[in-house]
Amino acid sequence: KCTGQIVDVPIGPGLLGCVVDALGNPIDGKGPIEAIECRCASLKVPGILPRHSVNQPMMTGLKPINALVSIGRDQCELIIGNHQTGKTFIAINTILNQKCWNDGRDEEKKFFYIYVTVGQKHSTVAQLIKTLFWIAVGLHLFNCFVLCFIPNALIFIPYL
C-alpha cells in the first residue's frame, strides 16, 4: 500500500551498538531502536563551502596509512580494493586504535564510527559483527554501529 511518504531513517545515539539494514531497521535481534528523530533518506548532501573544515588529524594507528593519507576527524573514508587485500583489517584496526581517545571523559574528543558493508554475504557480515562486538564488549567500545547493505535487500533500494 502506498503511503505517499518519503523514506525516513532513524538517527541518534540509539543506533550506537546496533546493526541495521539500509532502511534503519534493526537486524541484530536486539529489538526496536530508540532514535531521537527520523530524517529523510534522500537528503541533499551539502556542498564543500557550507561544511566546516577538517582541521584535526585522526591517526589510524597504521604507520603507512598515516604517512601516505591524511585522514581528518569528522571525515568519511571509503576503503576500496580487491578481494582479500585487508580492507576490513584497516577499518577494524583504526577503530581499535582510537581506544585511547574514547577512554577519556571529554565527550568532544571521542570518536564515533559507522561501519558500512555493501554487498557482503550474510555469513561474512555475521562474522564481522561477531568480531566487532566481541572486541567492543572487551574494550568498552560501544560507539560504533554497523549498516548492512545485503545483496537480497539491494534489489528494491534504487526504486525508493
Measured at the CA of 110, the angle between CA 106 and CA 112, to 5 degrees, comes to: 150
Res. 29: pLDDT tops 70: yes
In a domain, 35, yes or no: yes
Mean pLDDT, rounded, for 110-123? 82
In a domain, 121, yes or no: yes
Mean pLDDT, rounded, for 37-51? 84
Number of H helices, E strands in the chain: 4, 5
Count of structural domains within the chain: 1
Write 120-127 long-range contacts (CB < 8 A, 24+): 120/148, 120/150, 121/151, 122/150, 125/150
Mean pLDDT, rounded, for 95-116? 79
Kindly give the pairing relationship between strand 113-118 and strand 144-149. Answer: parallel
Hey, what's the cell of 103? 577512554
User: Where in the sequence is the domain holding 127, given as residue range(s)?
Assistant: 1-42+85-154+156-160
**What values do phi and psi take at 151, rounded to 5?**
-50, -45
Hey, what's the cell of 84? 582479500
Q: Where are the beta strands (DSSP E) in the chain?
A: 8-11, 19-21, 37-40, 113-118, 144-149
In a domain, 75, yes or no: no
Res. 141: pLDDT tops 60: no
Under DSSP, the state recorded for 115 is E
The whole-number pLDDT of residue 160 equals: 47
Mean pLDDT, rounded, for 36-43? 84
Residue 141, number of CB atoms within 10 A of its CB: 21
The band of 152, judged by pLDDT with boundaries at 50, 70 and 90, is low
Indicate yes or no: pTM above 0.75. Answer: yes
Res. 140: pLDDT tops 80: no
The whole-number pLDDT of residue 137 equals: 62
Give the CATH number of the domain where residue 3 resides. Answer: 3.40.50.300
The whole-number pLDDT of residue 80 equals: 92
Alpha-carbon separation of residue 48 from 9, 45, 52, 70, 79 (angstroms):
24, 9, 8, 18, 21
